[in-house]
Amino acid sequence: MTRVGRATMMAVAACAWLCAGAGSVGAEVRELTTKAGGTTVHYKVVLPNGYDPAKTYPALLTFGGGPQTMRTVDNDLARNFRAEAETRGYIVISPAAPDGDLFFERGVRIFPEFLTQMLENYRIEGRRFHVAGPSNGGIAAFHVAARFPEYFRSVTAFPGYLWQPSTSKLQALEGICVFAYVGEHDDYRWHDEMKREVEYLRSRGTLARYSEEKGQPHRIATLAGAQAGRLFEGFELARKGCRPGQATATVP
């Protein structure tokens, strides 16, 4: 697919994602602001039940779908992450795109400074994050993890793939668990690209799994609400290790 074609597809996906998520904002979480990469970053943090700043917690960096605004941050936290994080004991950190720049484009400039700040602010298990997101958020998750692999334990995209993929970017993900989900009826047809990347990583000895969600469109309901725990089961696998023999071999 050409870069122009991808850009057009992303614009359409952004509109669809924003409209589909309207009205789904959940309960309140902390809203904070910092400076990173020479710009102001607005972000939200979900802390687990009984949070103790003296204790260490697994941490999840999430990116919103569509335009990656604070509105989509709110929607995706409520739909996919907040409830499970609170009960399972995860910290979730979710930034909005700085100045409207998507995180797989100019928005990536806030990293790794933003990550080092979060490591200073919270006691994070292994000083590494799980990173996840839907649609544009999944693309951003792959992109940021490939740029700064030393900060990450796992990448989860539902759906998503490497933006402008290359062998060097895929090699950077070796040793990081990858969980890729796509709807059977996804209008944007990301299936082949996602599957190729997963198969490459698996061939290199990485725990990488691809799941085509039966009957699902681009916005996957089988990973939301009461079923959002499936995402966290993947994070739990990654906490055990991302090489053969260190974790089980099935997509949760």
Interatomic CA distance for residues 218 and 221, integer angstroms: 9
CA atoms within 13 A on the CB side of 211: 22
The pLDDT tens digits for 194-206 are 999 999 999 999 9
Q: What percent of the chain has pLDDT over 90?
A: 84
Specify whether the CB–CB gap between 154 and 238 falls below 8 A: yes
Interatomic CA distance for residues 11 and 66, integer angstroms: 8
The pLDDT tens digits for 171-195 are 999 999 999 999 999 999 999 999 9
Interatomic CA distance for residues 124 and 111, integer angstroms: 17
* The overall pTM is greater than 0.75: yes
Read off the amino acid at residue 103.
F
The pLDDT tens digits for 81-113 are 999 999 999 999 999 999 999 999 999 999 999
- List the single range of 119-128, 140-149, 152-161, 243-252 with lowest mean pLDDT: 243-252
Interatomic CA distance for residues 142 and 145, integer angstroms: 5
- The secondary structure of 126-189, three-state, reads HHCEEEEECCHHHHHHHHHHHHCHHHEEEEEECCCCCCCCCHHHHHHCCCCEEEEEEECCCCCC
pLDDT at 48 over 90: yes
Sheet holding 177-183, edge to edge: 30-36, 39-46, 91-95, 59-62, 129-133, 152-157, 177-183, 208-213
Interatomic CA distance for residues 102 and 21, integer angstroms: 18
Among candidate residues 32, 56, 50, the one with its CA nearest the CA of residue 117: 32
Domains and CATH numbers, the chain: 3-240 (3.40.50.1820)
